[in-house]
Amino acid sequence: MPSNVSQRQNNKLESDESVRTARTGIRGRPRADALTSDRRSQILKVSARLFAEYGFENTSVRQIADEVNLLAGSLYHHFATKEDILHEILQEPLRRIVEDNIAITKLQVDAEHKLIINTITRFRRHVYDGHFDSIILNDGNFFRRRADFAYVQKAKQRVFDLLETILKDGMVAGLFHPGIDTYLMIGTIARILASAAAWFRSGDIYTSDKPASYSFDRVLDFHLDCILRMIRTPSRLNEPIPREACERLALLV
Amino acid sequence: MPSNVSQRQNNKLESDESVRTARTGIRGRPRADALTSDRRSQILKVSARLFAEYGFENTSVRQIADEVNLLAGSLYHHFATKEDILHEILQEPLRRIVEDNIAITKLQVDAEHKLIINTITRFRRHVYDGHFDSIILNDGNFFRRRADFAYVQKAKQRVFDLLETILKDGMVAGLFHPGIDTYLMIGTIARILASAAAWFRSGDIYTSDKPASYSFDRVLDFHLDCILRMIRTPSRLNEPIPREACERLALLV
DNA sequence: GTCTATACAGTGATAGAC
DNA sequence: GTCTATCACTGTATAGAC
């Protein structure tokens, strides 16, 4: 899954032509099979990728238009402003976060299982909603400055609230060591998962003697291990991590 | 130290006027006491702050010029390009990283002490070279795209190399548990410290029931504890963290 | 639904007067 | 060392023809 998306092809002429002929070929007859009203979702998909790579403010509407073979002006038939595109990109991933949290809260398992399931789920989302995740990470300053994007912070808050509940429950149940500063630990766990997923997506290789292509599962296991070491009460450190059981439950989330 | 720098005052007219009178008042007589040839370092300081807050690409030369009470064109008497300003901002913090690494390598202490000293040093740099750190973090994509900034990656590599040596030594010495995947652990530790420092600087408060103003030392202790839990061989988990001894050595670094 | 054409503010950078 | 004036370009966005 790790990939390097670097080549910013300057395919203006080439693609302009190819598509123009394609379009003329079906003039007046909107195909239902392919991407008809899909212009809209096509724009969303391309924008998400560009925003993730260059940042929202550093992506121009011309760049977006180029990649969907439109002229800049034509974008404004589909969206009122560039910011509206961003709003719509954020909508679904944010909804998923809320749904995940509700589902995990309802589970009838102990705090450690919930922690593991939450970790699996969050890490999966971070990795597979990669564009969303990059945007949230890279344009964090932008979202903080702009009041009309405050709902982004609200979703983040929900994630923190769930983690807080889990940590406190686990401490009461004696599963986690009693000295945990939940406030600091919540932030630390969240940042570990987000930044690890960003690394995993980018496929960044920093050390020479490990060309290393790590699988999703291996990276996930590593971080589960780290998090449980930070949190478990020492006497429980050698207990196995109920990975499979939690994995099954995580799929239902 | 945590602060919120949000207000981007639109004081163009106001400051334009006030300064113009101030300058006319001392026309022709450059004061030696204040900032004479300091124009240059003043520009660097202001630029670092702006780049850190808005990102390099989203900061305009006019913004910089405004804040040092110059016109945009005049900046080009001091620097050839906007990118040169960035190059110079990066120079010193990067040099410090290299020096830190050399100093730590030379220390005659065991791997765990080195790990702790390295953690203290890195965290301190992250927090107090805050502008540098924000730039590295926020404009990471920019640096990765641009070959003429490759030296940034090189410094990062040195940090990783040192951590790798420490981890391997500690495992051989039986101080750290033997199963550590050093490659993954290096990245995880580095990201934990960088992202924790970014959080600490921003003073971001995400949970309602903890208004919490954490001290530098408290946050550092928390992360030292987390890192050692992840790494120590279980039987050594209850040994105290030699904080003071390492703190003294870290000050010499 | 897309294109042509354009408005208009902002961008990094330069030339030459003072 | 700073200012004035300006260049060539890119930024988001709009109006109206097809």
pLDDT above 90: residue A49: yes
A23 in any annotated domain = yes
pLDDT score recorded for residue A8: 33
Q: CATH number of the domain that A75 lies in?
A: 1.10.10.60
The 8 Å CB, 24+ separation contacts for B37-40 are B39/B68, B39/B70, B39/B78, B40/B78
Do the domain assignments include residue A84? Answer: no
Q: Do A18 and A134 lie in a common domain? A: no
Residue B99: burial class (beta carbons within 10 Å; 0-12, 13-18, 19+)? exposed
Look at residue B6 and tell me if it is in a domain: no
CATH value at residue B234: 1.10.357
A164 lies within 8 A of chain B by CB: yes
Give residue A181's domain range. Answer: 89-252
Give 3-state DSSP helix, strand, coil % of chain B, rounded to 5: 70, 0, 30
State which residue of chain B sits closest to A227, comparing Cα positions: B230
Confidence of residue B9 (pLDDT cuts 50, 70, 90): very low
Are A188 and B192 an interchain contact pair (Cβ–Cβ within 8 Å)? yes
Contact A141 B57 (CB under 8 A): no
Residue A73 pLDDT > 70: yes
Whether residues A105 and A61 share a domain: the answer is no
The pLDDT tens digits for A140-195 are 999 999 999 999 999 999 999 999 999 999 999 999 999 999 999 999 999 999 99
Residue whose token pair is 């930044």: A195
CA–CA distance, B120 with B230 (Å, rounded to integer):
17
CA of residue A185 to C1' of nucleotide C7, angstroms = 53
Residue with tokens 């040099």: B95
Query: Is B34 buried (19+), middle (13-18) or exposed (0-12) by CB count in 10 A?
Result: exposed
Same domain, A67 and A155: no
Establish if B65 belongs to a structural domain: yes
Q: Which residues on chain A are in Cβ contact (under 8 Å) with B153?
A: 206
**Is B76 within 8 Å of chain A by CB?**
no
Residue pair B155/B98 in contact by the 8 Å Cβ criterion:
yes
B97: tokens are 């990283």
Average pLDDT over residues B64-70: 97
Residue A148 within a domain: yes
> How many domains in chain B?
2
CA-nearest of B210, B194, B219, B209 to B2 is: B219
Q: Give nearest nucleotide to B73 (CA–C1').
A: C13
Contact B58 A57 (CB under 8 A): yes
Structural domain contains residue A6: no
What number of C-beta contacts closer than 8 Å exist between A and B?
99
Q: Which nucleotides of C are covered by protein (CB under 7 A)?
A: 1-6, 10-16
Q: Which nucleotides of D are covered by protein (CB under 7 A)?
A: 1-6, 10-16
Nucleotide nearest B83, from its CA to each C1': C12
Answer yes or no: is A1 within a domain.
no
pLDDT tier at B204, thresholds 50, 70, 90:
confident
CA distance A106 to A165: 12
